[in-house]
Amino acid sequence: MAMSILFTAAHIGTMEIPNRMIRAASHEGLADERGRPTDEQFRFYKGFVDGGIGLIITGYAGVMQSGKSALFNMTMIDSDELIPSHSRLVDAIHQIGGKILLQVAHCGRQTWSSETGEPLLAPSAISCGFYREMPKEMTDDDISNVVESFAKASSRAKKAGYDGVEIHGAHGYLLSTFLSLHSNRRSDKWGGSLENRFRIIGKVLRAVRETVGKDYPVSIKLNTYENAPHGTSPEECVLTAKMVEDAGCCDAVELSCGTNEGGFVMARGGFPSDAIFNYMRPYCTYSHTAKLFLKTFAVPFIKKRQPPFTEGYNLAAAAMVKDAISLPVITVGGMRSKKFIEEAIATGKTDFVSLARPLICEPDLPNKFRAGISAAALCKNCNECVVASDTRHIRCYRK
Ligand SMILES: Cc1cc2nc3c(=O)[nH]c(=O)nc-3n(C[C@H](O)[C@H](O)[C@H](O)COP(=O)(O)O)c2cc1C
């Protein structure tokens, strides 16, 4: 039997990945109250290593307190004091033969100051339609601090032994709000033209590269589409990806879509209204009558406006990027069947695929594909895992 392309090795910079399936960053909510990785987090990741994944990308880790997520128990990498706990996790993953890359992030306006203890930061004083808290328009000093924090966080990741870092430049978090005209209305050197909106990312990439050295794998996750007026488009994403490549400091680009206020765009599929009202703040605190009213009148209206789930829903945009750059491309979003994924790689639309929801449900999906036991993921895209991550740790709610 011919070897499936899915199980051939490929590189991200100096790192060889044994197959083309990557675990996409998915906030675990398994860190302790200071953001230190825990044994439970290791056991959760071990499931992916045992299940045959090529590379784990961790859930996002906060680079500074102002960028801490409002979601349950975020991992942090904002202080040297956290390095030993990260090292323990990484050593344990390496001992069982896994590869692990730390996603570093600043949540920007997609959090609450009650969680961060500091004002929210954004390119412009425009609140996110979901969190509804007015952020502070960042000064040049704020921007320099953020750039430095990404560099320091990446240097800590390297010291802890991670195989690389991924910079979170997607999903409406801080760096992606600079890229998007929906959230960036500045008229100084950080806003206006795409070159200006990209400036902070260019600086982050260069600062990270300077601290981690030339051989350390660095990836960036970008949005191809936002579902917002004036928001990022696939065409603009192609230009952004070219700027990433031209900066000469990055080894791969992962392509995704959506923001928190855009609804179930990043994670397409179900609109789990019961889970929203059970687990998600502020909705879970509403009175029974308010919940009933919203479920009857608002939910059906909002549901209709969600883009439908289609297999590999970011692949067409990712293929446009792949055509335009020579860096390896990782495509995430709706990758579900072995046949679809093999074709996407074999036809040169992407180099790797990454999966989030299917692996929460079936961490051993890569091995099942390899053994021919399974042709497609069992995940039904119900999105309860997404919603529950606000107040609970990660798991599949349909199992
Ligand atoms: C529970 C959950 C948590 C997530 N957390 C993150 C995260 O920390 N960083 C990130 O870049 N994407 C995060 N995502 C988005 C996924 O990486 C991915 O882009 C999205 O779920 C679409 O892929 P899928 O169809 O394979 O689930 C999360 C998704 C889920 C389901």
Going from N- to C-terminal start, the domains of the chain cover 5-264+309-388, 271-305
* Known catalytic residue at 173: yes
Q: Is 386 in the pocket of ligand 1 (CB under 6 A)?
A: yes
Q: Give per-residue burial for 99-116: e unless 16+ CB within 10 Å, then b.
A: bbbbbbbbbbbbbbbeeb
Rounded CA-CA distance 132/153 in Å is: 28
pLDDT tens by residue, 10-60: 999 999 999 999 999 999 999 999 999 999 999 999 999 999 999 999 999
11 beta partners: 16
Residue 116 Cα to ligand 1 middle (Å): 22
Q: Is 356 in the pocket of ligand 1 (CB under 6 A)?
A: yes
| C-beta pairs of 241-246 under 8 Å, 24+ apart in sequence | 241/321, 241/324, 241/325, 241/327, 242/324, 242/325, 243/194, 243/195, 243/198, 243/201, 243/202, 244/201, 244/205, 244/220, 244/325, 244/327, 245/325, 245/326, 245/327
Amino acid identity of 57?
I
Amino acid identity of 240?
T
Question: What's residue 328's pLDDT?
Answer: 98
Q: Is 332 in the pocket of ligand 1 (CB under 6 A)?
A: yes
Which residue in the list 45, 60, 131, 173 is annotated as catalytic? 173
Q: Is 385 in the pocket of ligand 1 (CB under 6 A)?
A: yes
Instruction: Assign 266 a pLDDT band (cuts: 50, 70, 90).
Output: very high
Rounded CA-CA distance 149/346 in Å is: 39
Q: Give per-residue burial for 26-35: e unless 16+ CB within 10 Å, then b.
A: bbbbbbeeeb
- Give the gyration radius of the chain's Cα atoms: 20
- Give this prediction's pTM: 0.98
Can you say whether the dihedral through the CA atoms of 271, 362, 165, 245 is positive or negative?
negative
Residue nearest to atom 3 of ligand 1 (CA): 26
Looking from the CA of residue 383, the nearest atom of ligand 1 is 31
Residue 60 contacts residue 71 (beta carbons within 8 Å): no
For 388, the token pair is: 């529950």
For domain 5-264+309-388, the question of CATH label 1.10.286.10 is answered with: no
pLDDT tens by residue, 85-100: 999 999 999 999 999 9
